[in-house]
Amino acid sequence: MKITKILIDNRGEIAIRIIKTCKKLGIKSVAIYSEADRYSQHTLLADEAIYIGGVSSAESYLVIDKIIDAAKKSQADAIHPGYGFLSEKAAFAKRVKEEGIIFIGPSAEAIEIMGSKLESKELAKKIGVPLVPGSTGAIKTFEEAKKIANEVGYPVLIKASAGGGGKGMRVANDENELKNNLERAKSEALNSFGDDTVFIEKYITSPRHIEIQILADNFGNVVHLFERECSIQRRHQKLVEEAPSVVVNEATREKMGNYAIALAKACNYTGVGTIEFVWENENSFYFLEMNTRLQVEHPVTEFITGLDLVEQQIKVAQNEEMSFSQNDLKITGHAIELRICAENVFQNFLPSTGQILDYVKPTMENIRFDDGLVAGDYVHRYYDPMIGKLIAYAATREKAIELIAQAIDNYIITGIYTTLPYGKYVFTHPDFIAGNFSTKFIEQNYTHFLDTFTGKSEIEGQLACGIIKQETE
């Protein structure tokens, strides 16, 4: 079936990203918006916009009945969930299909299997994908937890099975911490996901986060689109992503890619998805989880492959067979992305809200912006603090790093704090430039980052982080 109109169950930069591909393909787009987003850019750029409720996600973007009603009212053929909100909710995918609407994503069954960290690990174990040593099932008591921790050795990581975004995750370095953090992780998991199921695995102290992008159609064809390096994180949430990774050689890339393809085939996966790995070295990497949706960091993969991943999602959804094979794909150049989050990087990345006073993007070749803001817009406390993404592409990693650092120097956002100054710190840090870093980078270097601003006046500090701009005569 040819899709002619897509309702986008999302907001902000990802909604605009999907609208752009819809326009390119001649497909009508329908935006939905909450009270807080009444005048947001995604509502203005779509062909239609439908109001669905109050300011909070619980009143709007997470209400399945309202989204289905909007799709029917607009006569949309399909719903694209973007990422976040309902994108990985099996019940939503199932309901959309039952209503006779195309869900642009995998089946509810695949989401359910791979959305559970325990079920996905069991599947990975079954087909021989390497796993971090740890529990094979849910941990229900402290005695069970203690037994597993003693077997694999401290430190251990307690993780929510239904979790994501760093929620429901706690590290325990000894038995006392295990006892305290087990209950904390279970409580946080219950509050965040409505499910307090947790498991335990060996905590790798200085890992890298490497993920493989996959694409699968409805005809049994599955390819991988190489790897992304996502190790620069705070609170287990990514801040900087790049493709390819500086540490992955061709032989290991093929091995990881084949594991990712095998997992996708094992759960009858269709569409785009990402297999995430914890990396110790080229001989030791372990399956972490699968994200059954488009990733925030998909632009770096689009740069190095030349593919539009939203377009590929739509093609799969309308039952087109993949027009290329693994042998047709190759890595060209290097891409780096910085998530622009409304966060005060001088106060441990706390959310920053308010009105954007100035918003000027640099005009530079091979720089891409995925954003959804203009001067005068408000950044609300109701939603995720990520407000956009800055992506640079060049022939080499060194040139891409130079380019994105230059772009930050010429990017003006005032009125709120953002992660731009921390991005500049990362891209000029010798360890990042050398490729010598892990997921501990921010933790290990945060004090040094703060020290670079020591001695500055409040005005100088605000100028440095972009909260105000330099007045010129």
pLDDT tens profile 251-284: 999 999 999 999 999 999 999 999 999 998 888 9
Distances in Å between the alpha carbon of 154 and those of 27, 161, 170, 172, 393? 53, 20, 13, 7, 41
Q: What is the pLDDT of residue 473?
A: 37
Give ∠ CA 1-70-217 in degrees, rounded to 5: 30
Please check the confidence at residue 166 and state whether its pLDDT lies above 90: no
User: For residue 165, what pLDDT band results from cuts at 50, 70 and 90?
Assistant: low
If you average pLDDT over residues 336-356, what whole number do you get? 95
Question: How crowded is residue 466: how many other Cβ atoms within 10 Å of its Cβ?
Answer: 20
Q: What is the pLDDT of residue 456?
A: 58
Distances in Å between the alpha carbon of 346 and those of 106, 413, 417, 431, 453? 40, 16, 9, 21, 9
Report yes or no: 288 and 207 within 8 Å, Cβ to Cβ: no
Q: What is the pLDDT of residue 467?
A: 54
Q: What is the pLDDT of residue 472?
A: 44
Distances in Å between the alpha carbon of 244 and those of 211, 229, 336, 397? 10, 7, 9, 9
Report yes or no: 305 and 333 within 8 Å, Cβ to Cβ: no
User: For residue 470, what pLDDT band results from cuts at 50, 70 and 90?
Assistant: low
Q: What is the pLDDT of residue 455?
A: 61
Q: Which of 156-160, 324-328, 414-418 has the highest mean pLDDT?
A: 324-328
Please check the confidence at residue 457 and state whether its pLDDT lies above 80: no
Report yes or no: 382 and 56 within 8 Å, Cβ to Cβ: yes
Q: What is the pLDDT of residue 199?
A: 92
Among 293, 339, 368, 397, the active-site one is 293
Query: Burial of 138 by CB count in 10 Å (0-12 exposed, 13-18 middle, 19+ buried)?
Result: middle
Which range among 173-182, 186-195, 275-284 shows the weakest confidence by mean pLDDT?
A: 186-195
Token readout for 160 is: 């929510």
Report yes or no: 228 and 301 within 8 Å, Cβ to Cβ: yes
Please check the confidence at residue 136 and state whether its pLDDT lies above 90: no
Q: What is the pLDDT of residue 116?
A: 87
Q: What is the pLDDT of residues 46-89, one digit of tens each?
A: 999 999 999 999 999 999 999 999 999 999 999 999 999 999 99
Question: What backbone phi and psi angles, to 5 degrees, belong to 300?
Answer: -65, -35
Please check the confidence at residue 464 and state whether its pLDDT lies above 70: no
Q: What is the pLDDT of residue 466?
A: 55
Query: If you average pLDDT over every residue of the chain, what do you get?
Result: 93
d(CA 168, CA 197): 10
User: For residue 459, what pLDDT band results from cuts at 50, 70 and 90?
Assistant: low
Whole-prediction pTM value?
0.91
Q: What is the pLDDT of residue 461?
A: 58
Q: What is the pLDDT of residue 271?
A: 98
Which range among 163-172, 219-228, 411-420, 439-448 shows the weakest confidence by mean pLDDT?
A: 163-172
Q: Which residue has the tokens 């040819």?
A: 2
If you average pLDDT over residues 416-445, what whole number do you get? 96
Q: Which domains does the chain have, with CATH numbers?
A: 5-104 (3.40.50.20), 133-202 (3.30.1490.20), 208-465 (3.30.470.20)
Please check the confidence at residue 164 and state whether its pLDDT lies above 90: no
Q: What is the pLDDT of residue 295?
A: 97
The candidate with the shortest Cα–Cα distance to 15, out of 376, 301, 370, 390, is 370
If you average pLDDT over residues 358-381, what whole number do you get? 94
Token readout for 215 is: 């694409």
If you average pLDDT over residues 205-218, what whole number do you get? 96
If you average pLDDT over residues 195-200, what whole number do you get? 91
Q: What is the pLDDT of residue 263?
A: 97
Q: What is the pLDDT of residue 163?
A: 67
CA dihedral angle for residue 253, residue 259, residue 260, residue 265, rounded to 10 degrees: 140
Active site residue 293: yes
Proportion of the chain above pLDDT 70, given as a percent: 95
3-class DSSP string for the chain: CCCCEEEECCCHHHHHHHHHHHHHHCCEEEEEEEHHHCCCHHHHHCCEEEEEECCCHHHCCCCHHHHHHHHHHHCCCEEECCCCCCCCCHHHHHHHHHCCCEECCCCHHHHHHHHCHHHHHHHHHHCCCCECCECCCCECCHHHHHHHHHHHCCCEEEEECCCCCCCCEEEECCHHHHHHHHHHHHHHHHHHHCCCCEEEEECCCCCEEEEEEEEECCCCCEEEEEEEEEEEEECCEEEEEEECCCCCCHHHHHHHHHHHHHHHHHCCCCEEEEEEEEEEECCEEEEEEEECCCCCCHHHHHHHHCCCHHHHHHHHHCCCCCCCCHHHCCCCCEEEEEEEECEECCCCCEECCEECCEEECCCCCCEEEEECCCCCCEECCCCCCEEEEEEEEECCHHHHHHHHHHHHHCCEEECCCCCHHHHHHHHCCHHHHHCCCCCCHHHHHHHHHHHCCCCCCHHHHHHHHCCCCCCCC
Please check the confidence at residue 93 and state whether its pLDDT lies above 80: yes
